[in-house]
Amino acid sequence: MIATGLETLQFDNRFTQLLPGDPQAENFRRQVRGACYSRVRPTPVAAPRLLAWSHDMAGRLGLDFDPFQTTEAAEIFGGNRLLKGMDPFAMCYGGHQFGNWAGQLGDGRAINLGEVLGRGGDRWMLQLKGAGPTPYSRTADGLAVLRSSVREFLCSEAMYHLGVPTTRALSLVATGEMVTRDMFYDGNPKREPGAVVCRVAPTFTRFGNFQILSSRKEHDLLQQLVDYTITNDFPHLGSPSAETRAEWFREVCVRTADMVVHWMRVGFVHGVMNTDNMSIAGLTIDYGPYGWLEDFDPSWTPNTTDASGRRYSFGQQPQIALWNLVQLANALFPVFGSADGLQAGVDAYTKHFNASCLAMMAAKTGLSHEHGDDAAELANELPDLLQEVETDMTIFYRALGSVELLPEQPELSGEQWSGVLSGLQDSWYQPELVPADHRVHLQEWLQRYRAMLQMQGLSDLSRQLRMNQVNPKYVLRNYLAQLAIDRAEQGDPGLIHELLQVLHNPFDEQPDKEHFSKKRPEWAKDRAGCSMLSCSS
């Protein structure tokens, strides 16, 4: 037997040790009251096969081996075996879905294996998504299909390397079983290959964990969960008290603001920002019908369920995060007893988001926000310009960093301005149809931008270096994920591995991977999985 190091993982299962669990040991669908979780074991699968592995995340856990040289990783992270010290459970939580209270939801297809002590003493929760039914599965089967699992695995790791606060992914395991899903809920179900993702995070606690207890008036348990969360997930705040609870909620609000600012920076659209999909630690969680903004359209949502209302569109994300925080504040009120600390936290979200977003927009153009608001305001005008024609957001900002705006002479000639615009036209989906007035508007903005760069004393090289630190060259474009899924469904996970490697260094040029930075091809504009997704997984 090949030693893998998996047996050396040290489990520190504080959640199940320190919080009350469901006394019912049987695994059947039910309302769970007076408990934060239910113990439940993953459902064994027919033929687990490891498809992908994040060596970066494995290293954080203290694992250093080739998981493809043994079946152990597939057996454990496919749900067929438990390691010593694992204490599997599913969390109880509720949530607002599309603005409406949905009552108990819970981990319907996610099973936490336990908390691991990683390198340096940091703690990580290991969680299998798609590992079978739990008491919270309602009418579902608790399983996941390969297409959604590939997307979750790749995006979790892509977001981390983009610098976005996120849950991580360790492994992707094919189950060897078929799962029936109606992708668009239109009466056309089909059999699809099943898979399990091992997700990793310091905590998987959500806004909904607190909401469900408050809705049931289980206030003593609500306070217990709040104080547990402060002690274990926010230990730097000190022992729980009225003051630390207020500071804790403020930090939750600020972390949430930071997360959404990063979403807006890279063009990420979550797609289903229900309160049960909001992490108490300010991490991007639950990669379902997400998408990457390709042509810059703030009203775009990848979620077909949201196509009419566009509640969770790109431009709505900051406001929805605030709405979700208000719902969390309402749930926490019985523990706080006063609205003052909760209102202060909500106000901190707005203040922090606005300031951080202005600074982020300035950074995307290479401008320094320290010289006053003019730089940020100039940068903030750019999204309106990008909406005039179909413009690829990622390519535009990366190209903007590369165009030559600051040669020796004080003014650019007409020929030089034509060259600048030519350097940006690769970001247009139909450059031949771009009207002359858009080129005029863009050149007028570029002239003011150039003057601002001169005022701040920036060279083209220094500007490019600054911009390339915040504007990625490579993101997980929707069509790339779909191509990886297509190949994986045919038994070839090679593109998953290649994309994982490329997305590990999204800000680097990687000349031999240039094709992964190209615009969305025309065939992908309206294809299911590229432009249209649902909550089905």
Question: CA-CA distance, 73 to 66, in Å (whole number)?
Answer: 10
Among candidate residues 276, 286, 306, 392, the one labeled active-site is 276
Active site residue 295: no
Residues 6+ positions from 486 with CB-CB distance below 8 Å = none
CA 255 to chain CA centroid, nearest Å: 14
Residues 6+ positions from 220 with CB-CB distance below 8 Å = none
H-helix or E-strand spanning residue 447: helix 436-456
Q: Where are the beta strands (DSSP E) in 322-452?
A: none
Question: CA-CA distance, 421 to 391, in Å (whole number)?
Answer: 13
Q: Is 351 helix (H, G, I), strand (E, B) or coil?
A: helix
Which of 266, 311, 297, 310 has its CA nearest to residue 477?
A: 266
Question: CA-CA distance, 26 to 39, in Å (whole number)?
Answer: 9
CA distances from 176 to 45, 121, 148, 180 (A): 7, 36, 16, 14
Sequence length of the chain is: 537
Question: CA-CA distance, 96 to 133, in Å (whole number)?
Answer: 22
The structure tokens listed for 483 are: 């191509």
Which of 158, 201, 142, 169 has its CA nearest to residue 51?
A: 169
CA 247 to chain CA centroid, nearest Å: 25
- Find the angle CA(478)-CA(484)-CA(490) to the nearest 5 degrees: 140
Q: On the CB side of 268, how many CA atoms lie within 13 Å of its CA?
A: 30
Residues 6+ positions from 85 with CB-CB distance below 8 Å = 9, 10, 11, 13, 114
The residues that bridge with 199 in the sheet, in sequence order, are: 127, 169
Q: For the chain, how far is it from start to end, CA to CA, in angstroms?
A: 35
The secondary structure of residue 126, as a DSSP letter, is E
Cβ count within 10 A of residue 146:
23
The residues that bridge with 171 in the sheet, in sequence order, are: 53, 198
Residue 12 near residue 124, CB atoms below 8 Å: no
Angle between helices 317-336 and 340-364 (to 10 degrees): 160
Question: CA-CA distance, 183 to 305, in Å (whole number)?
Answer: 11
Which of 306, 317, 293, 316 has its CA nearest to residue 531?
A: 293
Phi, psi of 350 (to 5 degrees): -60, -45
Catalytic residues: 276
